[in-house]
Structure 1
Amino acid sequence: MTDTKMDRSVRSFSRRKFIAATGAVGALSLAGCTENTGNGAGSGGDRERVVVTGSSTVFPVSDTLAEEFMNDHPKVNVPTNPTGTGGGFSNNFCPGNSDINGASRPIQDEELQNCQDNGVEPIEFQIGKDAVTMAVNNDSPIDCLSYDQLAQIWRQNGAETWSDVNSEWPDAQIKRFGPPSTSGTFDWFRNNVIGDAGSHIQQYEATENDNELVQGIETTQHSIGYFGYAYYRENQDRIKAVGVRQGENGECTKPSLDAAQSGAYPMARPLYIYVSKESLQRDPVYNFVEFYLEQSSTDTISDVGYVPVSEEQAQSNLEKLENAVN
């Protein structure tokens, strides 16, 4: 792949050949990008820039692929910034200051309107699936929670102590750690788990940095928190994942890639990237997105800690990408 324009038929042939031939790729580093960062889509100095913002859940995928892409394209800089899904849309992507926004839930109507008001046309691509993970301190006796119990713990004016949820559990204050309201994971959990039970509690330790959530749960007795599965898998010796069930008599299922893929895990959800159609007219953006979508059906995604899309979904994504610039 080069940074110059390629004939679209050549791209299409290469793409089909890539998907047919790719079975697995090696695990890539989860470390952050080491190239120059900054705000604003477009080029910077003598280096072309592809700016990626958005979901902290999607961030490990974007960051891993950005590093790999930059290794092969030394004249392209791909800074990645985990701003949160909503924060990325409102502050970066829709104002035209980033080219790509990771999202752990679909774009909302008001965000779409904001993009349209700024002349930004977002194109949606599903790039994987996550198992939203509820975790507790390793010394916690809690092993399984129902949706109703989760709603009790996480709704405003809900349970204050663990014994409020279950009389057999400790009579101790619940210490909560979770994503802020700008997070797509926050939105997904509020809408799909708390639902009509009320609004999300406001009194909790909130941060977009999922590693800080892990640390908070690890070092705080009687704690609980939630985030994307990749962060749990990287830290499963430090904290304990809680099984989840829908309904009081449902089966309790622990988060895993297999359970998310099969649908057995109740808190599985799709992951997306949104790409500016205008940005796709620039070859570095097109080439990076093409690379990203090619990798989305490979072991790169599962190595990070998420479920890859099917080869059929990857092919559909790549056709949508090609059509977006024709």
Structure 2
Amino acid sequence: MKKWQLVGSTIVGASLLLGACGGGNGSSDKHKDVEGKVKGDGSSTVGPIIEKLNEKFAKDYPNVTVSNSTAGTGGGFEKFIAGSTDFSNASRPIEPEEKQKLKEKGIKYNEFKIAQDGVTITVNKDNDFVKELDKKQLKEIYSGKAKTWKDVNSKWPAKKIKAFSPDQSHGTFDFFTEEIMDKGDIKADKNADTNTIVKSVENNKQGIGYFGYNFYEQNKDKLKEVKIKDENGKLTEPTKKTIQNGSYALSRPLFTYTNAEKLKDNKGLQAFTKFLLKDEGKSAESAGFVALPKKDYKDQQDKLDKILEKDNKDKDSKKDDKKKDDK
């Protein structure tokens, strides 16, 4: 288990700063000619995937330094819009207002899906009555309308609910707000650190919380998963199969966004993005998430190849134009 160092409100994985020191035992000579610095930020859900990936990448590319922070999806996009990062990780799609800000800054971007996740609802291990919830009941809990479990289901005890949620910097918060709250306010104890939410549910007998599937997988001996009814009344639960095929009611894709101009010029970023897609979700699986179908990775590798091919043609065209001007 990697240790995480808290820096201000941003969690930084110490093992993500591997590129500069990756030339030790087991490193490959074949990519020593590729150099560069690559900087990312964003989703704390995606962070463990990048960490696992970078452990492998650093061995093959010892002269590329990749650093990644986890300020949350929203916080990551703020830095991406400011132009201070090369890639931005997200546990939700980029929002229209973020697209507009990037447009105003003249920043073009590329979107890549890298894994699949299922937002998992959990209650305290000693809770012996909450086995399933529908989206309406979840909204009642997280809007504050339901104060006790009896308010949710008349057969349940009149014990006060203690609801926990990621804060507004998280894409998981945005996803839950969209899917469950109809964009209404979430009234719960909010925290930037997902591990704190896990601990809060573990320590509160009337606790309920939600977070990415990998956090549940890592703590399933301490928490109880709740099944979710979809709009058709079908009971669903998060498993690798239901998350990958999207049949789980709270399935979602995970993304990495690259700055198009920086991708064009930064060989390290090119190598890292290629490595990410060719990994085909192995790092995501080892981090507790679910890989996309292999065809999806192949389609995105083709997409990246076309982007880089076009960039090279544009560069060659500019060189030819410059030669003509010099003559």
What's the TM-score once normalised by structure 1's chain length? Answer: 0.81
What is aligned with 1:201?
A: 186
**Sequence identity, in percent?**
35
Count, aligned residues: 282
Distance 2:189 2:63 in 1: 40
Counterpart Cα distance in 2 of 1:159 and 1:312: 44
CA contact (8 A) 2:114 2:256 kept: yes
Q: Which amino acid aligns with 1:33?
A: A
Q: CA deviation at 1:119?
A: 2.6
> Which structure 2 residues correspond to residues 246-285 of structure 1 after superposition, within 5 A?
246-247=230-231, 250-280=233-263, 281-285=265-269
One-letter amino acid of the counterpart of residue 283, structure 2: T
Gaps spanning 5+ residues in structure 2: where? 4-12, 19-34, 311-327
The answer as to 2:182 corresponding to 1:236 is: no
Alignment gaps of 5+ in structure 1: 1-28, 38-46
Contact 1:257 1:305 in 2 (8 A): no
Q: Report how far residue 170 of structure 1 moved.
A: 2.4
Q: Secondary structure at the match of 1:273?
A: strand
> Whose strand proportion is higher, 1 or 2?
2
The residue that corresponds to 2:30 in the other structure is none
Amino acid at match of 1:98: T
For residues 234 and 84 of structure 2, the distance between their equivalents in structure 1, rounded to whole angstroms, comes to: 45
Distance 2:171 2:283 in 1: 22
Map of 2:154 onto structure 1: 167
d(CA) in 1 for partners of 2:192, 2:37:
24
- Higher RCO structure, 1 or 2 (CA under 8 Å, sep 6+): 1
2-structure distance, mates of 1:292, 1:35: 14
Q: Could you say which structure has the larger radius of gyration?
A: 2
How many Å separate the matches in 2 of 1:303 and 1:79? Answer: 20
CA distance in 2, matches of 1:117, 1:73: 35
Give the letter aligned to residue 121 of structure 1. K
The equivalent position to 1:317 in structure 2, one of 291, 300, 311, is: 300
Tell me if the contact between 1:30 and 1:63 (Cα under 8 Å) persists in the aligned partners: no
Q: CA RMSD in A?
A: 1.9
Residue number among 125, 133, 138 corresponding to 2:112 in the alignment: 125
Q: Report the Cα distance in structure 2 between the residues aligned to 1:227 and 1:149, rounded to whole angstroms.
A: 17
* Residues 30 and 290 of structure 1: CA distance in aligned 2, closer, same or farther (over 3 Å): farther
Corresponding letter in the other structure for 1:223 = G
Give, as a single letter, the amino acid of the residue that structure 1 aligns with 2:15: T
Q: Does 1:101 align with 2:85?
A: no
Distance 1:36 1:62 in 2: 11
